[in-house]
Amino acid sequence: NRRLTLASRPVGAPTAANFALQENAMPAPGRGQLLLRTVFLSLDPYMRGRMSDARSYAEPVAIGDTMVGGTVSRVHVSKHPDYQAGDWVLSYSGWQDYALSNGEGLIKLDPAQVPPSYALGVLGMPGFTAYMGLLDIGKPQPGETIVVAAATGPVGATVAQIGKLKGCHVVAVAGGTEKCRYALETLGVDACLDHKADDFAEQLAKTCPDGIDVYFENVGGKVLDAVLPLLNTGARIPVCGLVSQYNATALPDGPDRLGQLMGNILVKRLTVKGFIIFDDYAHRYDEFARDMSQWLGDGNIHYREQLVDELENAPQAFIGLLQGQNFGKLVVRVGDD
């Protein structure tokens, strides 16, 4: 049984040296327990926060502990009355080949309905995040303009497509021409801009002639800077993530723009609301699952995964995720299904 542990806390961007691959004996399930084989491991930006001991909404991973993470696993051995060997489950087994469980928190998956790995993306935590953040905080109205960055990732792509389903003008922001082409051709957004372009802010202003009504905040940094002057009175900002800052070790250079931000919030009566998906919305999961299953079934929502083979490649793939090297929902195929 192999597992990846946190060897040291990163300063700035994580490196391979922050992780250690360890081999230990296969755990043996006792009465009422299950041995789970990890098939798919989800890699997500929030894991950067768990590597750090800065105060946050969740406890950090301790040095030497297995890195945490959502998995799609299969029951390898069952000594639990509700499960049989071969069952597919959504688990939180972390970065390892096998894990013990007492069944608590597991969700059974039906592979005949949708590919099981979707439970880590569009039909799971990231899809739920997009759904609640956009609909409950963003409250998009037909004809309004939505801006969303990281637009080809599992959260952003879902936000963009729900925005179109709600009759909005959707302006996507992504890193590079290939991602933008995908956003336009497959996700069906009205425009897609590359945030790496020197004149990104001017392009955004030209692309949003009627201003911006909903800015779904995934990234912060330069994208937020460009969005701020374009916000309309009464605009909503669901603050979902700030991935451009996760590796930062200090505040950025330049003038302090906090006063400008607060001035905008006041004068334009902005709604700026952070949320942590399961802490705030667990009670509305069924609503999401029903709508999303319907949209996927009808072909209204497209979903792209990037599969990386082998557990030992997880650190490198994760390091790349924080730099935009993934294209779609990043998933490690740890074991054979």
Note the residues at the interface with ligand NDP (CB under 6 A).
44-46, 125-126, 129, 149-150, 152-156, 174-175, 179, 195, 218-219, 221, 223, 240-241, 243-244, 275-277, 321, 324, 326, 330
Q: What is the dihedral of CA 315, 318, 323, 326, to 10 degrees?
A: 120
Nearer to ligand NDP, 10 or 45 (CB): 45
Toward ligand NDP, which CB reaches closer, 232 or 247?
Answer: 247
Closer by beta carbon to ligand NDP, 40 or else 98? 40
- As measured in angstroms, the least distance from the Cβ of 123 to ligand NDP is 14
For residue 160, count other CB atoms closer than 10 A to its CB: 31
With respect to ligand NDP, which residue has the nearer C-beta, 80 or 329?
329
Shortest separation between residue 210's beta carbon and ligand NDP, angstroms: 24
The first and second tokens of residue 255, run together, are 């003038």
Q: Return the residue matching tokens 């202003």.
A: 205
Q: How far apart are CA 25 and CA 329, in angstroms?
A: 31
Q: Which is nearer to ligand NDP, 92 or 275 (CB)?
A: 275
Structure tokens at 101: 């469980």
Contact between 215 and 154 (Cβ < 8 Å)? no
Question: What's the min distance (Å) between Cβ of 200 and ligand NDP?
Answer: 10
CA–CA separation, 179 vs 150, rounded Å?
9
Rounded Cα gap, residues 304 and 156, in angstroms: 12
Report the nearest approach of ligand NDP to the CB of residue 50 (Å): 12
* Three-state secondary structure of 103-163: CCCCEEECCCCCCHHHHHCCCCHHHHHHHHHHHHHHCCCCCCEEEEECCCCHHHHHHHHHH
- Distances from the Cα of 127 to the Cα of 25, 123, 157, 219, 285, angstroms: 36, 6, 9, 17, 11
Strands 329-333, 305-309: parallel, antiparallel or unpaired by DSSP? parallel
The residue (of 222 and 268) whose beta carbon lies closer to ligand NDP is 222
* Cβ proximity to ligand NDP, 41 vs 75, nearer residue: 41
